[in-house]
Structure 1
Amino acid sequence: MKLPWFGRKKQQPLTVEDHKRPLSPDIDHTIDRRLYYRPIEPGAACPRCHKTLIQESATYAVVTFDNHGQETDRLMVGSDFGHYCPNCPTVVINPADVEPYLAAARTQYEVGQGFAILGRIPLDGFTAEEQNTPIGELESIPLVPFHRSSTQSKPKNQRRKKRKKK
């Protein structure tokens, strides 16, 4: 049995400003970036120029795939799993850091086992009118794309399984 709320202070609802974190001035969030999927620790070096990466919060566009490579759903995920290079257009994301967000979405949506991060969604790229429109009703969503590095393999959850020879 729950007791009434007598005597408790009423909390003010959170605003959008309460959720905004300041972005690093060293990172240009408007440029396309080369994406690397790999395990990473905070303060790790960039795989391209070896400068120290900076972990940043952002909203990402994620597409998921089933076991046959067919697209199952597209999601927006807000998190700090992106590690950005201040020197070159590189972002490193650990697939294991993305997985908990997809696991939570699987309870409500048709989210596949494989995924790809399409890019960063700049929330300041929406007009005042678009900010009050449900995301599914928008004609387009601003996107700063990520391009997967051609020198790396796919994340483990997207690799094809080798067939055994008979």
Structure 2
Amino acid sequence: MRSGESFTPGRSTDLAVIDPRRVPVMRVFRSGAGTFLCELKGAGTQWSEPQWKTEDEEGRPELLLPDVEKFVNEHGDFIQSSILPLDDEIPDLICFSRHETGLIIQTRIKQHSSFVSLCQVLLYFGPLTAVLLLVTVTAGGTWAWRQRNQVMDKNDAA
């Protein structure tokens, strides 16, 4: 603030205009080190911070409380982000946020699927099967060629 020629200390603030009728957008990102980032964009103060849970919480250790950051981006969108570091692979991880009216927005992350396992099996057994087939066909062809030559040699000798 400026008052004459002297400056008085002030504090900058960000202003975000939120439409309470609009449902916010939730996105989840994963780093290679197993850290997850859940981003809730366009939510106002009526929405809770992004939280984490598992699909089947029985027998699983409690998830750590995530680090939550709130900021306004350069476009004026209010963003809440939640960072969750994980050492173990949890099959069904869910990031969710709850509105004060009870409405829930959530995103489910499947970390391990049977399709990925099947691809890994095919990656190793596919080439092995091809080599085994090639060796079998080559050995069978060589054996048949030798048998034919032995029969022809016996016929020529007789």
- Tell me the TM-score normalised to structure 1 length: 0.25
Q: Which has the higher helix share?
A: 2
Q: Which has the larger radius of gyration?
A: 2
